[in-house]
Amino acid sequence: MSNNTTITTQTYRGTFTKVNGESRSMRFVRISDLPTGTISEAAHQHIDNLQKLHGSEVVYDLDKQGFRSYNWKTSSNSSSSEETVTISL
């Protein structure tokens, strides 16, 4: 069961090159910008481990409504703004 939460937070738009060479654009929220308690401590630990393993940042994709990886190393452009968004966890 998912839980919808509406928050006003910093959001980002960016495009990066995936491992397979394809370009990927994404609108996302960084985990550090989510309200405290939005995700469990166990989920935070899992996210930290994934980031160390893959080198990409785990973010919440606002269009796909799920967690994805964003590769800042291959980012070709990015911007940020503050928005009111609904996330489904």
The string of pLDDT tens digits covering residues 27-86 is: 999 998 988 888 888 888 888 888 888 778 999 999 998 889 998 888 988 888 888 888
∠ Cα 78 7 51 (to 5°): 50
pLDDT at 14: 93
Distance, CA of 85 to CA of 83 (rounded, Å):
6
- Span 2-34, pLDDT tens digits: 678 888 899 999 999 988 999 999 999 999 898
Beta carbons within 8 Å of 46's beta carbon, 6+ residues apart = none
Residue type, 35: P
Q: DSSP letter at 71?
A: -
